[in-house]
Structure 1
Amino acid sequence: MWDERYSGTEFAFGTEPNDFLRETFEQIPVGGHVLCLAEGEGRNAVFLAEQGFKVTAMDMSEVGLNKANKLAKDRGVAITIQVADLADYKFGQDKWDAIVSIWAHVPKTVRQYVHAQVGTALKPEGVFIVEAYTERQLETEAVGGPPASQRERFGCLQSFQHELVGLNEVIGVEKLRMVSEGKRHQGLSAVVQFVGKKVSN
């Protein structure tokens, strides 16, 4: 599905970074190593590379990541791409200064697996930056997020707080905000925003 969605010349979610990431990236240690989860066509990874970070973009779509690579080259920066599935991704230990998850709506079991890895994978003082749609999105007129048949894929602040062991919550909020990111994310949207920092050893 994602290879097909990313196969056109147009960028499904645009080429500008996510607003929440733009607001919070300065919490990432300067020049640090950043892992972008389910990064698709690379807009967030490229933005972070432009800010001087060393960025790895992972996604299960090779088509999307090839576009990410091209976008990076067009912008005069370099990123590392990894074709991989979050369901069994090897995050490593004390490896990342930041992990970024923007609109990565996966099944509950996969989300729990990912969240269980984050605390170990981050370096001390590393941060986890997340924005996702909440189930309230189904009550809005906005475009974006899982369908009603996949409710378990929506984000929830309480779940994040419970699952992300070893992180100090810096930002944790559910809110309505205007989203305009390509044709597939538009309108007044119900989101959860979270930033957690790994406790120093």
Structure 2
Amino acid sequence: MNSKFWDEKFSLSPNLYGEKPNEFIQEQLTHLTPGKILFPGEGEGRNALHAAALGWNVTALDQSQIAQKHTLQKADAAGLKLDYLVCDVTVFIPEPESFDAIALIYFHLPLSIRDQVHQKFEKSLKKGGTLLIEGFGKRQLEYSSGGPKNLEMLYDIEEIKSSFPNIHWELEFDDILHLKEGEGHAGDGHVIRLRGKKIK
């Protein structure tokens, strides 16, 4: 899934995943003091815009210029500011210990680059910072509510946790949820949620 794939998808289906923030992000951000937050694979900005409205200093990134355009149009209409970068996640080099929180929301990567990218993000999280993850689990192939069709790109909760060796996990969820996130995530699905803090 390259930039052309996502540009076409967001062009043909604006607000593919809805305009409201992800429920897990919405809930979790109410418990955190606003600081600097990173949203990789942010798409059309529903989570980044919500965080910006709460006073967070937001950096979002995605490989789709169409997604960036839609996000910045919404930000301008709402009087919000955020930093949205269009780039390949493998070439994005964040500053070490620069973010208070990182949110990986349906951020599914090929196995060949997954651990490398995850560990890069972990290094960019401040000690004591919060990592939030929501994505589809392996059983998602049994459901039609969205997500990759490649089994390797779907989450196994223990594998994902092992990708972040310096995170102490405080919340774990691995079960079926009914999703209502636009046309892109609609219906029952196998969802994994994690919240943890960087301990070193």
TM class, shorter-length: over 0.9
- Structure 2 unaligned segments of length 5 or more: list them: none
Partner of 2:69: 66
| Aligned mates of 1:39, 1:49 — CA distance in 2 | 13
| Aligned mates of 1:108, 1:86 — CA distance in 2 | 14
DSSP-derived class of the 2:140 partner? helix
Partner of 1:22: 26
Whether the 8 Å CA contact 1:49–1:79 is kept in 2: the answer is yes
Superposed CA offset, 1:9-60 (max 9, x none) = 73111111011111211343x2301110100110100000011101011000
RMSD: 1.4
DSSP-derived class of the 1:41 partner? coil
The two structures have a TM-score, normalised by structure 2, of 0.93
Partner of 2:81: 78
Partner of 1:143: 145
Quote the offset at 1:96 in angstroms: 0.4
Partner of 2:155: 155
| Aligned mates of 1:60, 1:10 — CA distance in 2 | 16
Runs of 4+ in 1 over 2 A off after TM superposition: none
| Aligned mates of 1:156, 1:24 — CA distance in 2 | 22
Quote the offset at 1:8 in angstroms: 4.1
| Aligned mates of 1:179, 1:8 — CA distance in 2 | 21
Whether the 8 Å CA contact 2:141–2:151 is kept in 1: the answer is no
DSSP-derived class of the 1:56 partner? strand
| Aligned mates of 1:188, 1:143 — CA distance in 2 | 6
- Structure 1 unaligned segments of length 5 or more: list them: none
The two structures have a TM-score, normalised by structure 1, of 0.92
| Aligned pairs for 1:45-194 within 5 A | 45-140=48-143, 142-147=144-149, 150-194=150-194
DSSP-derived class of the 2:178 partner? strand
The percentage of counterpart residues that share the same residue type is 30
| Aligned mates of 2:30, 2:124 — CA distance in 1 | 20
